A = this chain, B = another copy of it.
Amino acid sequence: MKDEVYTLLGNKNLSKTPCRVEILNTLIEAGTALSENDIRNKLSYNFDRTTIYRTIKSFLDQDVIHSISLDNGEVRYAITRTREKHIEHFHAHFYCDGCTNVYCLPRPEFIPPQLPEGFVASGFDLLINGKCKNCHNHRQDIW
């Protein structure tokens, strides 16, 4: 809990301010990726928008969290739980069409699709959509 947050902030040389502690805590406790608004709404104190923006930016810079851009332009943030540095270049997330939650997925096997002649891949970002466990029950349109 708090300890984890403090340790994390300490490791990354980020000062332990209420805003940072709360945001980080919120993201750790959330099972899914959260938007800036989601985050703001979960905080006990009404921090300034800029402060939240900059806190998120710091966390991103330090790889404490990572961002996921959805098709509609919405951005969500989630704790980065990868251990190895290079894995950062291989992201996979799941977007639930039912509840719209976004979940981080473990690194998938990278089967690079046929690339045009001369193209070389160095990473990827995969966003799978479908129904999560909860929403799968009230199933509707399974392909």
Contacts and interface: CB of A to CB of B under 8 A. Distances in A.
Interface of A: 67, 69-73, 75, 86, 89, 92, 94, 97, 103, 105-109, 111-133, 136, 141-143
Given A71-B125, A73-B75, A125-B126, A111 B109 contact: yes
A129 B121 contact: yes
Copies of this chain per assembly: 2
Given A73-B69, A106-B113, A143 B122 contact: yes
A21 to B, nearest CB: 27
Contact of A142 (B105, B122, B124, B129): B122
A120 B106 contact: no
Interchain residue pairs A-B with the least CB separation, the first 9? A108-B113, A118-B133, A121-B130, A122-B130, A125-B127, A124-B128, A111-B111, A120-B130, A122-B143
